[in-house]
Amino acid sequence: MTESERITGKDWHRSSWSPWAHPRTHHHPALQHAHDERTVGERGADKIATFGGSWPFIFIFLGLMACWIVLNTVVLQDALHHTAFDPYPYIALNLVLSASSAYRLR
């Protein structure tokens, strides 16, 4: 047992890379009751928000944007006879990012 475990009295558990891997428990009974009484929609929204703010989501999102850029710059340009589907300023990608940003602000 480490010094911080001894001081706090908590067991140390190795953190998983996924934030939704461990169920959320509250130490105060009122908070636990409110947590248990959530509707299906509230539980679903909490899971989506937990995933949307996680590092895996950020890396997946950046990977998808990089794939879009590479596909439009290299692969589709060769397939469409040197005409890119979404050329350099990437207007379609900008539209998708703007729509996703507006959806997140809601």
| pLDDT interval class at 64 (50, 70, 90) | very high
Is the pLDDT reported for residue 22 higher than 90? no
C-alpha 63/C-alpha 11 separation (Å) is 36
Ordered DSSP codes for the chain: --HHHHHH-PPP-PPPSSTTSS----SSHHHHHHHHT--HHHHHHHHHHHHHTSHHHHHHHHHHHHHHHHIIIIIHHHHTTS--SS-TT-HHHHHHHHHHHHHHH-
User: CB of 85 within 8 A of CB of 76?
Assistant: yes
Mean pLDDT of 17-35: 70
Higher pLDDT residue, 57 or 83?
57
Mean pLDDT of 57-86: 86
- Least confident interval from 3-7, 52-56, 80-84: 3-7
Tell whether pTM > 0.75. no
Is the pLDDT reported for residue 74 higher than 80? yes
C-alpha 85/C-alpha 79 separation (Å) is 10
